[in-house]
Structure 1
Amino acid sequence: MYELGVVHRDVTRASRDDVTALAGLGVSTVHEAMGRTGLMRPYIRPVYYGAAFCGTAVTVLLQPGDNWMLHVAVEQLEPGDVLVAACTTECEDGFFGELLATSARAKGSIGLVIDGGCRDVAALEKMDFPVFSRAVNAKGTVKATLGSVNIPIVCANALIRPGDVIVADADGVVVVPAERAAEVAEAGRSRKANEEDKQRRFAAGELGLDMYGMREPLAKAGLRYIGGEQEQDA
């Protein structure tokens, strides 16, 4: 059950050093480094090409067709924060647009994730305010019903708590719990170094079949090659 009608002002954010480290890794690497967890549903997509960010979450619980609490949430933003908004029930109305983006940026926000709609996409792209949303929808909203700010929410099937790290790029959105940020950043750096080594080997012509030792288990599974010089097992 969500807590309604509250704004929590005291938020423990992940450290800036850890956020910076995670920002250099990308969504796919962070997701894998965290044990293949933390991803939002893939219907959350950037509203323009090149949108990306990594920052700490200020969470917003909205009521359907009502963006009142986004205005409340802007006051709680600090530099480097990301607005993360969910709705009490599915709604694709245009909760967010150019004016709110301008206000959020003035407070230091670097982007928005919303399990709902946004609008003014051309203006958002022009001002380079990254938004990841469920839909693009010109339909406006009202300001009449209380939700909450800085409470734990579920956005696109992912649990987000205030201060968690949100990484978003062309591959999607991943959530890193604040208390795991340092651990995941270190695991991500190791994974990235390993991937860079593999990329060099692939570029030199080595096959994944040999790099990953796949030939023997493929043969045991019954794979056979037909044609060529001779019929052979894998």
Structure 2
Amino acid sequence: MPFCTADLLDANEARLADGSLRVATPLFRNFGGRNKFMGRITTLSTFEDNSRVREILAESGAGRVLVIDGKASLRRALLGDQLADLARCNAWEGVVINGCIRDSAVIARVDLGVRALATHPRKTEKNGLGERDLPLNFADVEFIPGEWLYADEDGILVSAAALT
């Protein structure tokens, strides 16, 4: 479905009051080869360990967006070119990371939506840490598994129901 977050917000502005539509604070940079993406939210909370990121992106991601709360760490990258390509191969729509990526020049050519705070060349630890499918709070938004995320050049929206 072609969409524009500004138009979706205008058409659904009344839903802001009850919290069923939320707008993320504009903290994220666009790194992926896909500028617009949308899908149902899958979440992961982790800190400087991307073992579970790999595990999740190895699943079928058709119609889904992975939202990762990396606790805003700017010390290690939670996504690199190999994981971005794994996500693409498994049909993920996109990844939103409250943290860093690496291999940004390669990720820019991958057909995947990627939003993150920054880049960092250092890889993560691999200790199998992280909690999956929990509500996450960052960027002044609650990201709830199963809800909808819409991202484009203007920002990120989170909605309890699909938007039209």
Give the TM-score taking structure 2 as reference length. Answer: 0.85
Asked if structure 2 preserves the Cα contact closer than 8 Å seen for 1:45 and 1:172, the reply is no
Consecutive unaligned residues of structure 2, counting only runs of 5 or more, are none
- Correspondence list, 1:25-44, <5 A: 25-32=3-10, 33-35=12-14, 36=16, 37-44=21-28
- Correspondence list, 1:113-124, <5 A: 113-124=96-107
Distance 1:100 1:56 in 2: 19
Q: Could you say what secondary structure the match of 1:42 adopts?
A: coil
Partner residue of 2:37? 53
Relative contact order, CA 8 A, sep 6+: which one is greater? 2
Distance 2:136 2:29 in 1: 19
Residue identity (%): 25
Partner residue of 2:125? 142
Indicate the structure with greater helix content.
1
Pick aligned residue for 2:50 from 41, 54, 67: 67
Distance 2:60 2:13 in 1: 27
- Correspondence list, 1:85-124, <5 A: 85-87=68-70, 89-92=71-74, 93-124=76-107
Aligned-residue CA RMSD (Å): 2.0
Distance 2:34 2:53 in 1: 24
Give the TM-score taking structure 1 as reference length. Answer: 0.61
Distance 2:7 2:52 in 1: 33
Letter in 1 for 2:73: C
Consecutive unaligned residues of structure 1, counting only runs of 5 or more, are 1-19, 186-234
Q: Could you say what secondary structure the match of 1:60 adopts?
A: strand
Distance 2:32 2:110 in 1: 11
Asked if structure 2 preserves the Cα contact closer than 8 Å seen for 1:54 and 1:165, the reply is yes
Asked if structure 2 preserves the Cα contact closer than 8 Å seen for 1:85 and 1:155, the reply is no
Distance 2:102 2:149 in 1: 22
Distance 2:6 2:102 in 1: 27
Cα deviation 1:48-100 (Å, max 9, x = unaligned): 5862211111111112x21122122224443121111113x330221101100
Larger Rg: 1
